[in-house]
Amino acid sequence: MSPIHVVAGVIYDSQRHILLARRPEHLHQGGLWEFPGGKVDAGELIIPALRRELNEELGITLTRSQPLIQVHQDYGDKQVWLDVHEVLAYSGNPHGREGQAVQWVNRDALSQHQFPAANLPVVRSLELPSEYLITGEFRDSQDCLRRAERALQQGVRLLQFRAKHLASPDYIALSVQLRKLCDRYHATLIANIDPALFNATQAHGLQLTSVQLMTLYRRPVDTAQWLFASVHNQTELLQAKKLGADAVVIAPIKHTLTHSDAHPLGWAGLEQLATQANCPVYALGGIDAPDLPKVRAHGAQGVAGISAFWPAGAES
């Protein structure tokens, strides 16, 4: 069965609300909410297809967009390949031009709506930022907290607490303080720790190493908590999908001095894995924040890194 290629747009208003459209009852997945779009015609390019669909459905003219995520969904009776782009600029006033109900929704309220299964990874993607900070070196707990707060003040909203040199009790104690700090800035804290100790950290989610990932047989955290996984190849990606990972970190993209023995995937390798992930993807290894447009063009959600986002020092 050949998948139906569908293109969809994530459209924002001036307050960064997101536009949803309700599928007519008589259609497949009728009555559910979705991101506006439609089928790509044979031989049609993605952006022209998106421009045409948004004009037909909403009466707007697309002028600028960027890739967000690709999702492959098997509904049993049909397969869908959903190609989603963020709409960065458009002209016109969006409205249900074909009589469909439309609604502007706050990003935090997306999960309160019912979507077709193919749209759920898109919701997850919109709930996450494009930058994923991994904590680097620090002198002591106060130095770590100072550096973390500086990063949060600079706009970081997703932070992985990685501190392999700390004993478990010290890691847990510091993670509890980091959770309180992240809550103040409405940021998400991800713990990089043995899954058996995760609940004690009070973090919002768990980051699995590739080694931990391959030893598990079921999802180690509740579905209300984030599950991230580090993957380097297709086998690990498949395992992450089996466990229901909400996001994956794909590495290394380029050669790095810290992992000089690792074989870099390159941009083509990133794209190959990202297009199969069915969840938000962060690229790691030899890349920086300015690489975000290229990362997006190759199917990833954003950039993960230490040096790119972790402050080099903090005032005492």
- The yes-or-no verdict on residue 314 having pLDDT over 50 is no
12: DSSP letter? B
Band of residue 259 on the pLDDT scale cut at 50, 70, 90: low
What was the pLDDT predicted at 257?
Answer: 64
Reported as a single tens digit per residue, the pLDDT across 165-176 is 999 999 999 999
Q: Which domains does the chain have, with CATH numbers?
A: 4-117 (3.90.79.10), 131-305 (3.20.20.70)
C-alpha 45: how far from chain center: 25
What was the pLDDT predicted at 51?
Answer: 98
Reported as a single tens digit per residue, the pLDDT across 85-131 is 999 999 999 999 999 999 999 999 998 999 998 999 999 999 999 99
What was the pLDDT predicted at 129?
Answer: 96
Reported as a single tens digit per residue, the pLDDT across 138-151 is 999 999 999 999 99
Global pTM?
0.92
- The yes-or-no verdict on residue 311 having pLDDT over 60 is yes
Measured between alpha carbons, how far is 228 from 245 in angstroms, rounded to an integer? 6
Q: Which long-range contacts (CB under 8 A, 24 or more apart) does 17-20 make?
A: 17/104, 17/105, 17/106, 17/107, 18/104, 18/105, 18/106, 18/107, 18/110, 18/126, 19/58, 19/94, 19/102, 19/103, 19/104, 19/105, 20/102, 20/103, 20/104, 20/105, 20/110, 20/113
- The yes-or-no verdict on residue 11 having pLDDT over 80 is yes
Q: Which comes out higher in pLDDT, residue 46 or 259?
A: 46
Measured between alpha carbons, how far is 298 from 283 in angstroms, rounded to an integer? 10
Give 162-223 as a DSSP string.
Answer: --TTS-HHHHHHHHHHHHHHHHHTT-EEEE-S-GGGHHHHT-SEEEEPHHHHHH-SS-SS-T
Q: Which residue spans within 76-187 are E strands per DSSP? A: 79-91, 102-105, 131-134, 158-161
Band of residue 38 on the pLDDT scale cut at 50, 70, 90: very high
Measured between alpha carbons, how far is 225 from 191 in angstroms, rounded to an integer? 11
Could you give the C-alpha distances from 294 to 106, 298, 304, in angstroms and in order? 28, 6, 14
